[in-house]
Amino acid sequence: MLTLPAPPTAAARDDRRLLKFHVPEMVFGLGSLAEAGFCAGRLGARRPFVVTDPGIIEAGWVIELLGHLCDVGLDPQVWAHVSPNPKDHEIAAAHEAYVEQGADVIVGIGGGSVLDAAKGVAILSGNGGSILDYAGVDLVTRPIPPLLMIPTTAGTGSDVSQFCIVTDTVNAVKTTIMGRSLVPDISVTDPRLLSTMPHDLAAATGLDALTHAVESFVSLGHNPLADGHALSAARLVGKALRRNVEAPGDECARLWMAQASLEAGLAFSNSILGATHAMSHQVGGLFDLPHGVVNGVLLPHVIRFNAEVVPERFAMLADAMGLAVQGMPDREAAELLAEYVQDLAESVGAPRCLGALGVTDADVDRMSVTATRDACLATNPRPADQDDIAGIFRESL
């Protein structure tokens, strides 16, 4: 007689649920920028549209990239007018140039702002309208041009994620565009490119990577495939962030941070994020501040808020980052993690409070309202309404 297995427990059902894990083709390692021409060719490029910014041109990476593209017979076009926290009007201008130049494959080389701008051009090319029309989840419904992303910072994860963050300049807020179609076709990570990051950028992007790792691991959307990447990223940031900021010539630290950025990007792209990002987007949109720095200030406070419901997840993160939490109650381990993150952020130059960045109590209500509308809040492990968000903001001042 056939005996059927007992029904799975709730926890087992959670682990056995159907998962989709979206990733690009990834090329990783020192010197991998040399593969960019072949990668673009595989995507069908003839006249690739290179999106970048003046700093990356000055660093010499765009000239090297163009050489690799030309070596395989391509005719690259360059657009380099992206500012930090890419603006809606910048993306509209870039799209206009893309159309005028008859370009095809879109190549982004730069930090998260550049890569998000490149995604924005792709969205408009395939779907039309204004970039702000696509704020939300899965509103990009028509095909977009192939995307080749080349990060020059270690933290944003834009090169592997399904996110695109754009500043709505009229309302002074950052909008989140999310969808599977925004996962790039190919990501090329050459850790050499991190060597030209200024200290403050290395710190900000590294804190962003840590926030991605932490928030994706405790997210309501966390899953076994993403969890390993999140823990690995947190471990690598703990080992390498300070070294990468203080000694940009340290090749080992650059490799570790490049890997941390990539793995944290894979994790949050497939698990989504939480309240830290929902709140940080509002601060960044209103004050045009570095995203990673704002994350570094907010994350400890959000850890404490969320530890009320998932302390065991934070204890696992603390253990992965090498904190002495064995045998410690989970809530205490979570508090230790919050203190560690705050000290780490301060050690690489981030302030301990939002007030040091110019945020005041008068800004809190406005930011709390818009934070509740951010897509990232939907997967925060603890429900948070406008009053909860306002409370965290005020604790962070």
What confidence tens digit (pLDDT) does each residue in 275-323 have?
Answer: 999 999 999 999 999 999 999 999 999 999 999 999 999 999 999 999 9
124 falls within a domain: yes
Q: In whole angstroms, give the CA distance from residue 68 to residue 81.
A: 22
Secondary structure (3-state) at 107:
strand
* pLDDT digit string, tens, across residues 136-180: 999 999 999 999 999 999 999 999 999 999 999 999 989 999 999
CATH number of the domain to which 118 belongs:
3.40.50.1970
User: Are 113 and 245 within one domain?
Assistant: no
Quick one: 372 and 247 in the same domain? yes
* Banded model confidence at residue 19, pLDDT cuts 50, 70, 90: confident
End-to-end CA distance of the chain: give it in Å, rounded.
67
Tell me if 335 is assigned to some domain: yes
Sheet of strand 163-168: strand arrangement = 136-137, 173-178, 163-168
Tell me whether residue 355 is in a domain: yes
Q: Structural domain of residue 180, as residue ranges?
A: 25-193
133 CB burial (10 A radius; 0-12, 13-18, 19+): middle
Is-contact 28 189, C-beta < 8 A?
yes
CB 311 within 8 A of CB 333: yes
Pair 312, 163 in one domain = no
**Cβ contacts of residue 159 below 8 Å, gap of 6+?**
24, 108, 115, 149, 150, 151, 184, 187, 188, 189, 262, 265
If asked whether residues 147 and 202 sit together in one domain, one would say no
Q: 296 and 277, same structural domain?
A: yes
pLDDT at 16: 65
Is the pLDDT assigned to residue 45 strictly greater than 60?
yes
pLDDT band (50, 70, 90) for residue 15: low
Q: What is the pLDDT of residues 61-102, one digit of tens each?
A: 999 999 999 999 999 999 999 999 999 999 999 999 999 999
Q: How confident is the model at residue 248 (pLDDT cuts 50, 70, 90)?
A: confident
* Residue pLDDT, tens place only, 202-225: 999 999 999 999 999 999 999 999
Structure tokens at 351: 């302030």
CATH number, position 244: 1.20.1090.10
Specify if 101 maps to a domain: yes
Please tell me the pTM assigned to this model: 0.93
Q: How many domains does the chain contain in total?
A: 2
Classified as helix, coil or strand, 377 is helix
In this structure, the answer to whether residues 188 and 224 fall within a common structural domain is no
Q: Residue 3's pLDDT is what? A: 44
In a domain, 330, yes or no: yes
Residue 12 confidence (pLDDT) above 90: no
Residue 29 placed within a domain: yes
**140, 169, 193 - which closes a domain:** 193
Q: Is the pLDDT of residue 341 over 70?
A: yes
Say if residue 224 is in the same domain as residue 347.
yes
Whether 370 and 238 share a structural domain:
yes
User: Does any domain span residue 233?
Assistant: yes
Same domain for 173 and 208, yes or no, is no
pLDDT of residue 14: 55
- The distance from CA 329 to its chain's CA centroid, rounded to whole angstroms, is 31
* Same domain flag for 186 and 220: no
| pLDDT exceeds cutoff 70 at 115 | yes
Asked whether residue 387 is assigned to any structural domain, the reply reads yes
pLDDT digits (tens, 9 = 90+) for 359-379: 999 999 999 999 999 999 999
Cα three-residue angle 63-64-65, rounded to 5 degrees: 90
Looking up tokens 């947190």, which residue turns up? 234
Regarding whether 37 and 178 lie in a shared domain, the answer is yes
From 184, 186, 129, 134, select the one nearest 162 (Cα to Cα).
184
Chosen domain end from 134, 159, 193 = 193
Separation between Cα atoms, residue 114 and residue 25, nearest integer Å: 19
- Residues 103, 122 contacting (CB under 8 angstroms): no
Q: Which of 158, 173, 193 is where one domain is finished? A: 193
Same domain? 225 vs 175: no
